[in-house]
Amino acid sequence: MSKVKADLKIDLNNLDKSNWKTYRFDEIVKNISERVDPNNTDLTVYIGLEHIDSESLHIKRHGTPDDVNGTKLKFYKGDIIFGRRRAYQRKAGIATSDGFCSAHALVLRANPDVIDSELFPFFLHSDLFMNRAIDISVGSLSPTINWGTLKHQEFTIPPIEIQLEVIKLLLASDDLVQSETLLLNNLELYKSSYLKDLFLGHIRLNNKSSKFKKTSLGDIPENWTVKKVGEIAKVIRGSSPRPKGDPRYYGGEIPRLMGADVTRDGKYVTPKIDFLTEAGAKLSRPLQKGALVMICSGNVGLSSFLAVDCCIHDGFIAFTNLSGECDPDFLYYTFNSQLQRLFQNATHGGVFTNLTTDIIKNFEIVIPPSNEQTFIGLEVSKQDRLISEFKNKSKNTNILLSSLLNKVF
């Protein structure tokens, strides 16, 4: 991409916009409003807003006509499908084939006399356009953009010759983003396969060879064991003071762990969202710093260590009094490598997925000797560190692309 920058004939840091023209949005694009009946069409590709990733030009998933009923909008290859509902989600993707989409979207096509078709999707992802789209949305629960309002919005667009220069840089940046995304996905797949072999003893400390024995979890080394979690730890559920929000119990200074804290912080979690009074803490489940906890309602199975003393509510399970045969770090890594199994073992009735204490007590895991538990922990840490570093690199590339966009528009 550095070569592309060197070849540019414009300076993005000092753009002269004196000869740029202002256009109404309906002069920049054409709103395609052809209708399709999903039950009476030869089209096979349906794209709902759920198939479009936020802040991405590329649509990587789709549905079929069998997924939907009611009149939809037709799109053609190269059109842009823009989510007019909940515009703050910043969804606008390029159609890679003909098909039809949700009526909660707009099908937009660039006017080539005003904006190049390759630049247009980048323009839609600029802060200038997206912030305007959010501002003109109407409705509180599900804010939506009306075409009648959007078409009158005015935007300043560079001349075609400048657009062609900008496109080179934006396309090169987007190619880099896509390459890094693909590599990150491959790293995640490799990690999943590697951990499966690691936790079953197929990859071992010092490349040890061993006879294997058959177990309920698969073939494992003869000197490894399979045990239920309830055999190696005390499993306790959190508790919540009732009624929820009662000022006698809530709004104090004692931190209470929430699921969002765990997904934010990872291995070591510090509660920052919810707090209890002393009376509320007595009706909750206080735990000491270092305790291993697991989300048992909603995003089940995700585990973390408490970085501070705090309380847990009834959407968490804690593990205390671990036996000496299982290292806490190893148990943490085991749980987070078994999220799919934990989800499959959970109950799925009602609104939330749940793991009960009985389910967890009877959940079987593989227990290697102590030195191999340490080895496994180090190997998992290496994988996590590699993926974390690459995620940060990919995040910085996305920030760069966004910065370039906002220098132009």
Mean pLDDT of the chain: 92
Average pLDDT over residues 377-384: 92
pLDDT of residue 327: 94
Both structure tokens of 69? 């009923």
Element (H, E) at 275: strand 274-276
What was the pLDDT predicted at 203? Answer: 83
- Please report the pLDDT score of residue 92 as a whole number: 98
Task: Provide the H-helix boundaries in 19-84.
Answer: 25-28
Whether residue 257 contacts residue 265, with contact meaning beta carbons closer than 8 Å, is answered with no
322, 333, 317: which is closest to 384 by C-alpha? 333
CA 113 – CA 110 distance, rounded (Å): 9
Question: Cis ω on the peptide bond leading into residue 112 (within 30° of 0)?
Answer: no
pLDDT tier, 266 (very low <50, low <70, confident <90, very high otherwise): confident
Q: 250-257 and 274-276 as β-strands: parallel, antiparallel, unpaired?
A: antiparallel
For residue 141, name the pLDDT band (cuts at 50, 70, 90): confident
pLDDT value, residue 88: 95
Element (H, E) at 142: none
293-336 pLDDT, tens digit each: 999 998 899 999 999 999 999 999 999 999 989 999 999 999 99
Cα(301)–Cα(230) distance, integer angstroms? 16
pLDDT at 2 over 70: no
Sequence spans of domains, the chain? 1-18+160-206+371-409, 21-157, 225-367
Q: Which of 251-255, 316-320, 389-393 has the lowest mean pLDDT?
A: 389-393
Could you say which architecture CATH assigns to the domain 225-367?
A: Alpha-Beta Complex (3.90)
Q: What is the pTM of this model?
A: 0.74
What's the pLDDT score for residue 82? Answer: 98
Helices marked H in 223-338: 229-232, 259-265, 278-282, 328-337
- The answer, yes or no, to whether residue 292 has pLDDT greater than 90, is yes
Give CA–CA dist 135/65, Å, rounded.
33
Cα–Cα distance between 180 and 363 in angstroms, integer?
Answer: 37
Closest CA to 223 of 371, 380, 377: 371
Q: What is the pLDDT of residue 14?
A: 81
Q: Give the gyration radius of the chain's Cα atoms.
A: 27
Flag the least confident range among 173-182, 269-278, 299-308, 345-354.
345-354
What is the per-residue pLDDT for 406? Answer: 87
Alpha-helical regions (H) of 151-258: 160-199, 229-232
What pLDDT score was predicted for residue 220? 93
pLDDT digits (tens, 9 = 90+) for 203-235: 876 666 678 999 999 999 999 999 999 999 999
Q: Which of these ranges, 129-138, 196-205, 347-356, has the smallest mean pLDDT? A: 347-356
Instruction: Kindly indicate the confidence band of residue 11, based on its pLDDT and cuts at 50, 70 and 90.
Output: confident
Identical fold for domains 21-157 and 225-367, yes or no, is yes
Which residue type is seen at 119? L
Average pLDDT over residues 255-283: 93
CA-based nearest residue to 342, from 187, 198, 229:
229
Model confidence at 9: pLDDT above 80? no
Cβ contact 284:322 at 8 Å = no
- Which pLDDT score is estimated for 7? 58
What pLDDT is stored for residue 279 in this prediction? 96
Q: Which of 4-18, 100-114, 160-174, 288-302 has the lowest mean pLDDT?
A: 4-18
The full DSSP string for 75-120 is E-TT-EEEE-BSGGG--EEE-SS-EEE-TTEEEEEE-TTTS-TTTH
97: nearest Cα among 75, 117, 77, 72? 77
- As a whole number of angstroms, the distance between CA 341 and CA 260 comes to 22
For the chain, percent of residues with pLDDT exceeding 90: 80
- Mean pLDDT along residues 134-156: 95
pLDDT surpassing 60 at residue 286: yes
Residues in contact with 31: Cβ distance below 8 Å, sequence separation at least 6, in sequence order: 106, 107, 108, 147, 151
Q: Which CATH number fits domain 21-157: 3.50.50.60, 3.40.50.720, 3.90.1150.10, 3.90.220.20?
A: 3.90.220.20
For residue 257, pLDDT over 90 is answered with: yes
